[in-house]
Structure 1
């Protein structure tokens, strides 16, 4: 009897409510939404017409609750294709205090703000798909750190703040397909979510650049044609430049001559020859260091550019990425080995100079 009375009061309030308010007539159902299973939710059954900010305040919520349930048990609100709702309703939390999910789909929603969502700290699932959203602002989800699934697909979004998805450690599904600046989805995959976030930062953070989206698409097309054979060829050429450079033979010859000279020192006339060879060897070593440094810069830039490009390619076009990265790591190790070899050369030079000093000191003493 009490439930029937509450229903009757709700209907009366809905009939006499001000035109500047929102009234929901709920069909209460138990079911599942995404990762939320076996939850009690409100399915809005009445037609709405919210076209101005003066009309967004929730005035009443009516409907017959299931046995043993009341408004405090409602964890999800579903409003889909029930007229027009240009702006997010204000005051939902006063009626439904424990919402974990909200769906406003195909309602012509034009804006969504941080203030609209701040009263729902337990929000896990947010669905605002098939609307008229154009901008996703900074810190939109700052009060909703538990969000697991966000649906913003089928809107007109052309600008997304680059940090809007930060501080959402549980985000595993992100739907952004069929928008002006991006059209990708990630479903139950944190790695795919991170890939889409990178695309957002690249494609959706400059609303004033009308050519940005097309440039990114062109880049993706070029990236998809990139193959490991061509990349390996470029990297191999760089390695060959280092290994087969013009100073290599001269350096090796001078090193051998120096070793032979050290073994056959017997008179003063060898000191001049020895000093000359050491000076030449040092110049060769310095030349090698400079050349390797320049090659390191080229290699670092190539690795950076290649890694950035490849990581932005969809997983299905990324089959060669592992092999390419192994090749780069192998090349890095070779570079480190070359640097180690130069350190050994420096050590040999120091020892030789010490020996020369001792020999010269002995001659001066004589």
Structure 2
């Protein structure tokens, strides 16, 4: 009889203990600000992962004096954007086209005075016939061959007044039609010696206002070749 009483007491005690533990755990989770903070942080992190996209807004224009291109229909990005992540993708492009025009007619894309540390990916999904790309005063920090790879028809590359510090090997290997390059007013310290090797049509090169070298040549293929030789002497002694 004593054994039965002891067993019943033990069972009741265990049940009581479990109830108390469950209650304490529940209260701890509900009341602990640290746990709530962790949950909120995880939710925010997931939201950030899901929202690495940007919407662009175009004012469509015609330009009649764009260096190598006589008459160009292009998108002027007109809505303030902020791109701080290298994996940011273009989600959509807004804007009203000129009469009888659509995305396939767009030959150029220009951004001026926006906050764009990196080029957004996927622009070619909207504009696959780009011949000129102009990124001006955006605090652009880097540019890589994969950024330019989709634009095989590119003739003009103008990356003016940004924060580029180096031009990597094979940067323009997918863009052999380039005729005009502008890297003026950046912070370039290093240029790989093969960067311009495939650009047999290059006749204009602006490199003024950079750290390792400052000069520009316009409309002179021979002058550009001489300039590249000089640049190699000054800009590839220290690899980045």
Is the TM value for this pair above 0.5?
Answer: yes
The 1-side partners of 2:149 and 2:106 are apart by 18
Q: 1:48 aligns with which of 81, 87, 103?
A: 81
The 2-side partners of 1:109 and 1:192 are apart by 28
Name the SS for the 2:111 alignment partner. strand
Structure 2 residue 151 is the aligned partner of structure 1 residue 120:
yes
| Counterpart position of 2:97 | 65
| Counterpart position of 2:20 | none
Q: 1:179 aligns with which of 210, 216, 228?
A: 210
Q: 1:35 aligns with which of 64, 68, 81?
A: 68
Does structure 1 retain, via aligned residues, the 8 Å contact 2:190–2:239? no
Per-residue deviation, residues 181-233 of structure 1 (Å, max 9, x unmatched): 00000101111101110111100001269xxxxxxxxxxxxxxxxxxxxxxxx
The 2-side partners of 1:22 and 1:182 are apart by 35
Per the normalisation by structure 2, the TM-score is: 0.77
Per-residue deviation, residues 22-57 of structure 1 (Å, max 9, x unmatched): 211100011132111211100010011001224x21
Structure 1 position 88, deviation (Å)? 1.2
The 1-side partners of 2:173 and 2:155 are apart by 13
The 2-side partners of 1:206 and 1:23 are apart by 40
The 2-side partners of 1:107 and 1:66 are apart by 27
Paired residue total: 190
| Counterpart position of 2:108 | 76
Name the SS for the 2:93 alignment partner. strand
Does structure 1 retain, via aligned residues, the 8 Å contact 2:151–2:174? yes
Per-residue deviation, residues 60-101 of structure 1 (Å, max 9, x unmatched): 10001000000000000010112x100111001100010001
| Counterpart position of 2:237 | 206
Structure 2 residue 120 is the aligned partner of structure 1 residue 89:
yes
Displacement over 6 Å in runs of 4+:
none
Matches within 5 A, 1:239-254: none
More strand by share: 2
Q: 2:187 aligns with which of 156, 161, 167?
A: 156
More helix by share: 1
The 2-side partners of 1:88 and 1:127 are apart by 13
The 2-side partners of 1:58 and 1:204 are apart by 34
The 1-side partners of 2:237 and 2:54 are apart by 35
Q: 1:143 aligns with which of 158, 169, 174?
A: 174
CA RMSD of aligned residues (A): 1.3
Cα pair distance change 1:208/1:126, threshold 3 Å: closer
Q: Which runs of 5+ in 2 are unaligned?
A: 1-49
Q: 2:226 aligns with which of 187, 192, 195?
A: 195
Q: Which runs of 5+ in 1 are unaligned?
A: 1-17, 210-366
The 2-side partners of 1:161 and 1:131 are apart by 19
Cα pair distance change 1:208/1:138, threshold 3 Å: closer
Per the normalisation by structure 1, the TM-score is: 0.51
Per-residue deviation, residues 300-329 of structure 1 (Å, max 9, x unmatched): xxxxxxxxxxxxxxxxxxxxxxxxxxxxxx
- Name the larger-Rg structure: 1
